[in-house]
Structure formats: structure tokens, C-alpha cells
């Protein structure tokens, strides 16, 4: 298991969690199941907890900040009626990584004269 060291690692962990969430049906994650959402004798699938345990183990505020940033974005969008899919977050991460690459920054500085 990769050691979590940076804010980017935290964002990647949150994106992985969102991918995992797509494979779990709501009737298994619902905290208060109704008659229409019967789980039988199974308890709630609290998949989020395993990710919190990884954050706890990392014990790194930068990792926490990255993880929380993705979830804050996701929850804010959900409350507004729309969300980004995990692949959209992955695409944004690739763009962010490219922008932080020294060669990219040197190129931008040359183009903008900064």
C-alpha cells in the first residue's frame, strides 16, 4: 500500500473512494433504510470508514486537506443538484500535475512574459 504523503495523495484517495462508491448500491449504504430499501440482516456498508482509517494512519494534514478538498467539492456540487464523476476529477488532477511541472511553468512564463 502506497504511503500517503501529499495533498495530491489525499485527492487521489478521495477519487478512489468515489470510484468505489459507484459500485455500492444505495440500499447497502443507506443509514436509515425504509421498507423499500430492505437490507435484510446486513448492516450498513460504511465504505467511507476504510478511507478515514487510511487518513488516520497517514497522520498527515496535507493528505487530509487534499481528501477533504475533493469531498467538499463533491458535496457542494451534490447539494446544488449535480456532481463530478471520478473520471472528471482524474482529468482535473492530470491537468493540475501538468501545470505544476517545472517545464510547463517555464513554457507559460515564456508565453506570457512573466
pLDDT tens for residues 16-47?
Answer: 999 988 888 877 787 776 655 556 667 778 88
Structural domain boundaries enclosing 51 = 7-84
Q: Does 89 fall in a domain?
A: no
Rounded alpha-carbon distances, angstroms, from residue 65 to 2, 25, 49, 71: 18, 28, 17, 10
CB distance 11 to 89 below 8 Å: yes
Q: What is the pLDDT, as a whole number, of residue 35? A: 57
Is residue 105 over pLDDT 60? Answer: no
Classify residue 67: in a domain, yes or no: yes
Inside any domain, residue 114:
no
Domain contains 46? yes
Residue 105 lies in a domain: no
pLDDT at 99 over 70: yes
Q: How many independent structural domains does the chain possess? A: 1
Q: What is the pTM assigned to this prediction?
A: 0.75
- Say if 1 falls within a structural domain: no
- Is pLDDT above 80 for 3? yes
Amino acid at each position: 500500500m502506497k504511503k500517503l504523503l501529499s495533498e495530491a495523495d489525499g485527492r487521489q484517495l478521495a477519487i478512489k473512494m468515489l470510484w468505489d462508491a459507484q459500485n455500492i448500491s444505495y440500499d447497502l449504504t443507506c443509514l436509515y433504510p425504509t421498507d423499500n430499501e430492505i437490507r435484510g440482516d446486513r448492516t450498513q456498508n460504511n465504505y467511507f470508514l476504510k478511507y478515514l482509517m487510511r487518513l488516520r494512519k497517514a497522520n498527515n494534514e496535507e493528505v487530509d486537506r487534499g481528501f477533504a478538498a475533493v469531498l467538499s467539492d463533491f458535496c457542494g456540487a451534490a447539494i446544488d443538484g449535480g456532481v463530478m464523476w471520478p473520471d472528471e476529477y482524474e482529468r482535473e488532477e492530470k491537468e493540475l500535475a501538468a501545470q505544476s511541472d517545472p517545464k510547463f511553468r517555464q513554457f507559460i512564463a515564456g508565453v506570457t512574459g512573466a
